[in-house]
Each structure stands twice: as C-alpha cells, then as structure tokens.
Amino acid sequence: MTVADFFAANVWQCWGAVAILLLVAELLTSTFYVLCFSVGALAAMTASLMGGGLYAQLAAFAIFSLLSIMLVRPFVIKYLHKNRDGEERPSNADALIGRVGTVSQRIEAGGYGRVAIDGDDWKAETTDGSSVEVGEKVAVRDRESIILKVETV
C-alpha cells in the first residue's frame, strides 16, 4: 500500500487530526478564530465519512469555517467577556481602574511618577495634582492612554 492509497482510504482520520491540532492551537491563542477552523475540519471529516470527494470536503471545510466565524464566534465572545452579573468584563488597562497599587517612583506635584500593580510598573499622575511619596498606596481612578490617574488611599 502506497502513501497515496493510505491517505485516500483514511482521509477522514487526517481531517480529525487537523481538528485536534487546531483545538490545541486554540488553547494557546484563545482568540476563537482557530476554533472556527477546527469546526470546519470536523465538517470536512464528516463529509469524508459520508463518501464525499476532496472538493466536497474542502467546500464543507470552507463553508463551516466561515459560518463559525460569522455566527458562532460573536455569540461565544459576547458571553465569555461578561462577568457573573452579566456586565462587560474590562480588559487590558481598563481592568486596572479601581485597583490599589504602590508608588514605586515619587509622583511629582503636577507631574508624573510610577505605580506598581501586580508586578507591572505604570506611569501615573494624581487626580488632584499633588505629590505622593514612594511606598504609599494609591487607587487607580481613571486612565488616559497608558497613564494612570491615581489618588492616595
């Protein structure tokens, strides 16, 4: 049996392997794009098991991948990016608002300093323009780009 014969007889297993590899890749990226292609590979595997030719398998892969991207992904993202109360979960720098950090570099009056929060060091200024010494606790009240607006706790 040649490699081509083996592949032709077991193409559904190849689609299954592709689907599993794409699921693993999704776990590494968590963007929910790769998951959509895994769904397409499962559809192509089903088409192969039903006796469909290569073009039918490729069409199933393309159609189900696109449908997943357009219909399933927005639905999944909508519900996974909410907290238990159903409110939108802040991400990136917005998640820092309300957090408490420690001043790592003196915040000058009317100027800037640095604040450490969870091991990350952020440029910061006070909301009232006052100075804050190193080691004091501050709460993040707002942000402007990557500059945190803080006030003493």
- Shared-domain flag, residues 73 and 14: yes
Which residues are registered as beta bridge partners of 88? 82
- Shared-domain flag, residues 23 and 73: yes
Is 31 inside any structural domain? yes
Is 26 inside any structural domain? yes
Is 87 inside any structural domain? no
pLDDT of res. 2: 75
**DSSP structure string for 122-133:** EEEEESSS--B-
- Give per-residue pLDDT as tens, 60-92: 999 999 999 999 888 887 777 666 666 666 666
How far lies 12's CA from each of 2, 39, 62, in Å?
Answer: 17, 14, 16
The residue type at 27: L
| Domain around 72 | 3-80
Cα–Cα distance measured from residue 64 to residue 44, given in angstroms and rounded to the nearest whole number: 9
- Shared-domain flag, residues 106 and 148: yes
